Chain A
Amino acid sequence: DGGITQSPKYLFRKEGQNVTLSCEQNLNHDAMYWYRQDPGQGLRLIYYSQIVNDFQKGDIAEGYSVSREKKESFPLTVTSAQKNPTAFYLCASTLDRAYTGELFFGEGSRLTVL
C-alpha cells in the first residue's frame, strides 16, 4: 500500500537535545512538507521540498532543519534552538508543486519535551 510513514509516533526529549523525526513516502511524490500542529493553531508550515536536494523555509522554520537526499525521505530535526518544541508534527507529500492543495499526510509524530 502506498502512503507516508512517520516515526516515531511518540517521542520524549530532554531540554537541550536535538531529535530527528523520520518521514518516508512510497507514493513517488516530488513535493514533501513538514507541518506543526498545536491546539487551536491549525497547521503551520515548517519546511517544504519540491525536489531532491532542495528545500525552502516555511512560516516557522526557526529551530528546525531538514534534508532531502532521497526522493522518498524528508527527515526533520528539531534542534535545541527551538524554544517550544512540544507539538504534533505532520509530514505530507503531493505529486508536485502544482497539486499542493491535494496533500497526503502521515499519521504524525507527537514530541514532548520533558
Chain B
Amino acid sequence: QQQVKQSPQSLIVQKGGIPIINCAYENTAFDYFPWYQQFPGKGPALLIAIRPDVSEKKEGRFTISFNKSAKQFSLHIMDSQPGDSATYFCAASKDDKIIFGKGTRLHILP
C-alpha cells in the first residue's frame, strides 16, 4: 500500500530525445507527487511536482503526466541534453509522509 514503483532502473537516450520515466503508486490518499533530480555526489533537488487534480504540468522542458484512475504518473524530458544526465526519483506524499521510488539513472548521449 505504501510503495512507489519506478521504472526503468536506468535509461540511455540520445541528445534531443525524450526520456520517459514511469511511476506507479498504490495508496490513493497521496495528494502530492514530486520529482527530484540528483547529480552525482550531490543531494536531490525538487524538480517539478503535481497534484492529482490536474493531468499534466509543464515546467520548461520537464513535463509530468498524471493518470489518477491508473494510479500512475510519468516524467518526460523534452529536447534532452547531456546536462540532464542524473538520477531521477519520483515520490508520493501526504501530510508528513513521503515515499520515494528507487530512482532512475538517466544518461543522455552527446
Q: Which residues of A contact B (CB under 8 A)?
A: 4, 6, 31, 40-43, 48, 50, 90, 92, 97-98, 100-108
Contacts and interface: CB of A to CB of B under 8 A. Distances in A.
B44 A43 contact: yes
A101 B35 CA distance: 9
B96 interface: yes
A97 B95 CA distance: 6
Nearest to A41: B102
B12 interface: no
7 tightest Cβ-Cβ pairs between the two chains A and B:
A105-B43, A101-B93, A97-B96, A42-B102, A101-B32, A43-B100, A100-B98
B25 interface: no
A100 B98 CA distance: 6
Given A90-B43, A105-B44, A100 B101 contact: no
Contacts of A42: 89, 100-103
A11 to B, nearest CB: 14
B89 A100 contact: no
B43 A100 contact: no
Contact of B45 (A43, A48, A50, A105): A105
Contact of A43 (B9, B32, B89): B89
B46 interface: yes
B9 A40 contact: yes
Contacts of A106: 43
Nearest to B44: A105
A100 B93 contact: yes
Contacts of B102: 40-42
A101 B43 contact: no
A105 B34 CA distance: 14
B73 to A, nearest CB: 13
B69 to A, nearest CB: 21
Given A102-B34, A102-B46, A105-B45, A50 B96 contact: yes
B91 interface: yes
A100 B97 contact: yes
